[in-house]
Each structure stands twice: as C-alpha cells, then as structure tokens.
C-alpha cells in the first residue's frame, strides 16, 4: 500500500525502475550513488547540479581519503585537492588563564598528510562527471516533489511528472529533506548566536600545508590550504564564525576592507590578502534526525545530521554514513529496502554521530563562554594535549582516522 501521492500518479507508468534511488546531487549524494553502483546496485540519483559559488571548501581527513581510495574515486580528485600536513589551534580569546597553542601534525601518527582540502563546487562537478560516465547510474537532473513509501518499493515523483521506482531511497537531500519529511521522520534542531563567513583567499606568504584555527570569543576563524592557481601561488579557504551583527557589518564592506580585516584576524601570518571568490554567509545551527532509517529509507549526510563547521566534520561523517550503509546492505539479501538491514545501518551510525554532535557543541560553546571555570577547563585540556604525546595522538587519531570508520 502506498501513502502520500494521489492515486492517478501511483498508477502512472514508471519512467525508471532501479534498486536504489539517491535523492539529492550534492557531494554526499553523488558519492553515495558512485559507491552503491560500485557495490553492484542499479542506481538513480535525482537532483539539480548547482554551482553554489559561496567560497566553501571541504577538508577531508585520512579516513575519508581511504574510503575514496577504496571506491577508486580519489585518483580523480587529486588534481583539485591541497594536502593538509598539520592543524594548529591558536587561542585568541584573551582568556584570563594562559591557553597554549596546540599543533596536530601528520607525522605524530605516522601519516604523510592529515587530509586534503577541496573547493566545494569543484568537488561536486568532478563527482558529477564520474556519475555521468558510470553506466550503472542514471543521473536525473530534476527535483523530487513527492514520495510514496509502499510495501515492495518506494516511488519518487519529479517536477517533470516522471517517476522513479526503487527498493530503497537514500535521502541525501540536505537539511530540509523532503524524503525524510514524507517518511514522517522528525528532527531535533538548535541554533547558535553565530554566522560563518566563507571565502577563498589569495595571500602573500606561504601556508606550509598547515591549517590554522584562531579561537576567538565568537568562534574559530579557520584558514585551510588550497591548491594554487595561475597568478595566485598561495591560496587558502576561510571559515570565520562571528556574531550575526559583525556578519551584517562585514557584508557591507568592500573586498579590500574585508580582506584587510581577515588578514588582521589571522594575526598577519599570511601577509597581505585578497578575496579570490564570492563570500558566503551561513547562520550556524544544528540538526539531528530522530532516526536515521525506516522501511525503504536511509538518511545520510545533512538529511540526517548537521552542525557548525568546527573541526571540519560534516562530509567526513557523511562518507562514514555511506560506508556503513554499504556494509549493512551487503547482509541484506534480496530486498535492500527491508527494515532489518536499514535498522542495522541506523544503529551503526548513532554513536559516531552523537559523539560528533556533542563534541562540536561543547567545543563551540566553551569558546563563546567567558566564565572562568570554562576557560580553565579549556586551558587545561589544551595544556594536557600539548604536553602529553599519547593523549594528543589519541585525539588526532579520533579526528582523522576514527575507529568506527569502516574502511
């Protein structure tokens, strides 16, 4: 029995029938489509390919790169990726207690690099090219307007009026997921008094393949290495969390004035700066779906969880969703949309997601608070990690190569 689409639509001839439909052609959806096709499934992916042009990048850590290598995707991305050798955290909160700087380096844990940074638009375009070249994937460049969950399959209706039947729908359609909503899965949401300003930057001095986070009272200001381009040999991406009032004021600045403020916030270690992209503004919020799966539906990526871009966790976590889904589907037998494997997927993801959501929340709020005991706890944590090698290495491994990663 189907729910939520008018009878005439349900009875209409199907345009397409596949094993698995991925909703949403963002970075996570495209990776999911490619990985599901690699596992032998017939896949459709529905969504519009849009260049966001918002100065956003994704830093992917070693665990994610291992997944992309295992899926034979990484060799197609290396020419757009810049390596990250180290991450330096610099306290700029003017806390009344001394808080030391902290550096996490790849060779601390025997790696050549901690990860790589890629421009968001370039990543989506490159993954879309790979999807187009894959004969096991139908790329349907259209929006999903309705979904019906039936006993034996799920049907998606497109704006064009066409339909796609599948055994399983993978919701990768972002925070406002229609797929999640139509399945009756709720969300828990919360907000932060912050806006993230994003941009690509060209600068005078080298970044030495090092990402730097300046921790301020309004949140971190993070610069991450980017690949050079013609006439811009030194480039980095910026994610700068600030109060909504400061974001509004900076929205009104011209490019030269804004670049000067960024160079100043980065304590002039990059020398003079120029904007190398449009600027993006993102109000900071968190969201977690009340469950990650149901009969015929699995939620991944920002359809399942979203949080502020501290410690660059979003897409890294999403790739772990995909790895866990592949692993659960392997044991599914004939019907990949049956409840048992999807319940297994949901259970496998909950602890990892909840640890990140809570960890990011605590880290973010600890910077915003000027309550002395909170500053002392943060200072103690930084001091312990800087002085105690095994603790620092354990924290680094948890960040870049988490044990729950399935690849």
Ligand X SMILES: Cc1cc2nc3c(=O)[nH]c(=O)nc-3n(C[C@H](O)[C@H](O)[C@H](O)COP(=O)(O)OP(=O)(O)OC[C@H]3O[C@@H](n4cnc5c(N)ncnc54)[C@H](O)[C@@H]3O)c2cc1C
Interacting residues toward ligand X by CB under 6 A: 23-29, 46-48, 56, 58-59, 143-144, 172-174, 178, 196, 198, 239, 282, 301-302, 309, 312-316, 318
- Paired tokens of 257: 């004035």
Nearer to ligand X, 95 or 235 (CB): 235
* d(C-alpha 44, C-alpha 40), whole Å: 13
Nearer to ligand X, 74 or 383 (CB): 74
Instruction: Report the nearest approach of ligand X to the CB of residue 33 (Å).
Output: 11
* d(C-alpha 137, C-alpha 139), whole Å: 6
Q: What are the two backbone dihedrals, phi and then psi, of residue 239, each rounded to the nearest 5 degrees? A: -130, 115
Nearer to ligand X, 93 or 198 (CB): 198
Instruction: Report the nearest approach of ligand X to the CB of residue 140 (Å).
Output: 9
Nearer to ligand X, 48 or 229 (CB): 48
* d(C-alpha 243, C-alpha 217), whole Å: 9
Nearer to ligand X, 55 or 337 (CB): 55
Instruction: Report the nearest approach of ligand X to the CB of residue 124 (Å).
Output: 8
Nearer to ligand X, 31 or 102 (CB): 31
CB-based contact 104:250 (threshold 8 Å) = no
Instruction: Report the nearest approach of ligand X to the CB of residue 44 (Å).
Output: 11
Return the axis-axis angle of helices 27-38 and 314-330, rounded to nearest 10°.
Answer: 30
Rounded to a whole number, what is the largest CA-CA distance in the chain? Answer: 69
**Angle CA 127–42–289, to nearest 5:** 70
Instruction: Report the nearest approach of ligand X to the CB of residue 403 (Å).
Output: 18
Q: Which helix (H) or strand (E) holds 246?
A: helix 244-251
Instruction: Report the nearest approach of ligand X to the CB of residue 264 (Å).
Output: 21
N- to C-terminal Cα distance for the chain?
Answer: 38
* d(C-alpha 114, C-alpha 105), whole Å: 7
């Amino acid at each position: 029995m189907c729910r939520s689409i008018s009878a005439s639509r349900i009875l209409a001839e199907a345009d397409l029938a596949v094993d698995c439909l991925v909703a949403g052609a963002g970075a996570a959806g495209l990776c999911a489509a490619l990985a599901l096709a690699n596992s032998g499934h017939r896949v459709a992916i529905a969504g519009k390919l849009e260049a966001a042009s918002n100065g956003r990048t994704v830093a992917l850590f070693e665990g994610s790169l291992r997944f992309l290598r295992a899926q034979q995707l990484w060799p197609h991305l290396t020419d757009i990726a810049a390596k990250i050798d180290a991450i330096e955290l610099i306290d700029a909160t003017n806390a009344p207690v001394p808080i030391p700087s902290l550096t996490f380096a790849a060779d601390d844990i025997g790696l050549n690099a901690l990860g790589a940074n890629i421009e968001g638009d370039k990543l989506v375009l490159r993954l879309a090219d790979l999807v187009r070249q894959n004969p096991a994937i139908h790329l349907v460049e259209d929006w999903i307007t309705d979904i019906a969950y039936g006993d034996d399959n799920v049907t998606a209706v497109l704006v064009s009026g066409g339909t796609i039947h599948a055994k399983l729908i993978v919701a990768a359609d972002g925070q406002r997921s229609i797929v999640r909503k139509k399945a009756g899965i709720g969300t828990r949401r919360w907000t932060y008094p912050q806006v993230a300003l994003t941009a690509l930057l060209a600068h005078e001095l080298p970044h030495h393949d090092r990402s730097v986070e300046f921790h301020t009272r309004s949140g971190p200001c993070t610069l991450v290495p980017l690949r050079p381009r013609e006439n811009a040999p030194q480039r980095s991406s910026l994610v700068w969390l600030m109060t909504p009032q400061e974001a509004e004021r900076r929205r009104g600045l011209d490019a030269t004035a804004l670049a000067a403020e960024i160079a100043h916030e980065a304590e002039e270690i990059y020398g003079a700066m120029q904007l190398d992209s449009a600027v993006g503004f993102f109000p900071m919020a968190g969201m977690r779906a009340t469950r990650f799966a149901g009969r015929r539906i699995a939620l991944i990526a920002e359809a399942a969880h979203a949080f502020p871009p501290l410690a660059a966790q979003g897409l890294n976590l999403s790739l772990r969703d995909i790895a866990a889904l592949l692993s659960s589907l392997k044991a599914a037998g004939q019907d990949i949309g049956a409840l048992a494997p999807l319940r297994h997927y949901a259970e496998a993801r909950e602890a990892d997601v909840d640890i990140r959501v809570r960890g990011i929340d605590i880290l973010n709020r600890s910077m915003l608070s000027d309550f002395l005991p909170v500053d002392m706890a943060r200072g103690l944590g930084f001091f312990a990690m800087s002085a105690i090698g095994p603790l620092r290495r354990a924290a680094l491994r948890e960040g870049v190569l988490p044990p729950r990663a399935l690849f």
